[in-house]
Each structure stands twice: as structure tokens, then as C-alpha cells.
Amino acid sequence: MSHAHHNSNMRRVIIALVLTGTFMVVEVVGGILSGSLALLADAGHMLTDTMALALAAVAFQVSKRPADTTLTYGYQRFQILAAFVNGLSLLFIVGWILYEAVNRFIAPQEVMGEMMLIVAVAGLVVNIISFTVLHGGDKDNLNIRGAALHVAGDLLGSVAAIVAAVVIIYTGWMQIDPILSIAVAILILKSAWVLVKRSAHVLLEGAPEWLDIDTMREHLIGKVPEVASIHHVHVWGLTPQDLMLTMHLCVSTQPENPTDIIRRVKVQLREEYGIGHSTIEIEVDDCADH
């Protein structure tokens, strides 16, 4: 990721952090005064969002630190840790909303629809601004993706609160409040699970989901005729954008210039697959590990 792109992502996260943190206080007060679970649920979500956005901002700052003798690959993976934590926090919020909604069904509470509507509309405006700011960032960056998902969940929460407030004002039906809270929780659940799954895949050193290693192996053999076979292929990423690879190349005879073979393979890896960091071992006839 370029320095300018990195700074742009970080600025977007900080803007969203200030907006979300400021309005969270307003929504907490509005939720308590109006008695609305939809507002309180969204306020609780915004509290988690504030922490998540702060963590995302810290992750961008930490990931700029250069590699050292302790972390030889650098600190970029911290962004993935932040995304994973954000995803887990979303799952926690979903559980809390569902628990509170069940309690509201058992013991319905009076809700002040007019106040709820005012706060929800203001929240919708703030969330739209925050989401627009984050959505313009790097869509492949899991840290930005996690932050945007948090704000998207808030946006849905605001929409649900507006609908609930209108229904309560005109019909007095209080059950709409927990019903829409559950609907929002289910929508958040799907996005949260995708984020946790993707970030966990990176943390577990999984290969990129789009990469077919067998096809890549055949492609490299076809492009570099001196290579008879390829084995011990490992592909992973510090982040989804920063891919790493190790592999063994087997040749039938001792090459005059093994570095040239490695260089041509590296060119293919970089240009065709976006793998900028590779460690390649050349073997003649037998694998050294055998």
C-alpha cells in the first residue's frame, strides 16, 4: 500500500471516529429519555464502533512501523488483528441486542416516539456521512472494511429506529421496537461473520481465496521451460494485499545460471499474481527435504 493511500485510509477512519463518538453520547441520552431499545441498541453499537474505529486508527499507525529483529515482517498484520477484534465485537453486540429484544417481548416498555424519531433522524445523517467517508477508502483493506461494516450496522440501526418511531407515533404499537432491533441484529450478524471469517483466514496463513495453486504451478512451468516440477508451495499474506510465497523448483540438470531462472519466476509471480515477496529454492532431481 502506498504511503499516500495509507494516510488517506487513516484520515477517513479518524473522521468517522470523531463523528461516531460525538453522536454516541447524544444517542445514549436520547435512548434513555425515550425508553427506546432500538436507540439504546444503536447507541451500544456506536460505543463499540467508537472503540473499533479507534482500534482501526491505531492499527494504521502501528502498521507503518518498519520491520525489526523481533517482527521481521513488520507490523502490517496488526491491521488484520484489528479487523478480527472488530468482527468479534459486532457478534457480541448482536447477542446483546437479541437478549434485550427478548426481554422487551416479555415485558413491553413505553417508548416516547417523538423524541426517538428526532434522535434517530440525526443519527441517520451522521451515519450516512461516516459511511460515505469510509466507503471511499480501500475496499480490499480489511481494517477499512471492518470499520465500514460497523458504521453500516449503525446506519441500519438508525433506519430501524426511524421506522419504529413512526409506527409508535401513529399506532402506539410498542412491539415494533424490539422486532426491528432483531431485524437489524440479523443483518449485522451476516456481515460480522464474513469479516471474522476473512480476517481469521489471513491470521491462519491461508492462501488467497481466488488463487488456484495447481493452475499457478502449471502456468509457471509453461513460462519457464527449465523448470520440470514445482512443489512445497506455500502462499499467504501479511494482509490480503501483501502476499508472500515460498516454493521449490525442480530442474533436471544443473542450470548454468540458477538466479536467472528464479528471476523469471519472480517476474511471473509479481505480474500475474501480485505476489511481491517470494523465496524460491532450486533443486536438481531430488528434493533436499527428502
Tens digit of pLDDT for each residue in 263-279? 999 999 999 999 989 99
Q: Of the candidates 203, 226, 258, which is a domain's last residue?
A: 203
pLDDT reported for residue 191: 74
| Domain CATH number, residue 229 | 3.30.70.1350
> In the predicted model, is pLDDT for residue 21 greater than 70?
yes
109 versus 268: the higher-pLDDT residue is: 268
Give the range of the structural domain holding residue 245, as residue numbers without chain letter: 213-284
DSSP conformation letters of the chain: --HHHHHHHHHHHHHHHHHHHHHHHHHHHHHHHHT-HHHHHHHHHHHHHHHHHHHHHHHHHHHTSPP-SSSTT-STTHHHHHHHHHHHHHHHHHHHHHHHHHHHHHS-----HHHHHHHHHHHHHHHHHHHHHHHTS-TT-HHHHHHHHHHHHHHHHHHHHHHHHHHHHHH--TTHHHHHHHHHHHHHHHHHHHHHHHHHHHHTTPPPTT--HHHHHHHHHHH-TT--EEEEEEEEEEETTEEEEEEEEEESS--S-HHHHHHHHHHHHHHHH---EEEEEEEESS-TT-
pLDDT reported for residue 1: 47
Same domain, 18 and 130: yes
Question: Does a structural domain hold residue 208?
Answer: no
Tens digit of pLDDT for each residue in 188-229? 787 788 888 988 999 999 999 899 999 999 999 999 999 999
pLDDT reported for residue 6: 61
Same domain, 39 and 105: yes
Question: Does a structural domain hold residue 279?
Answer: yes
154 versus 163: the higher-pLDDT residue is: 163
Give this prediction's pTM. 0.72
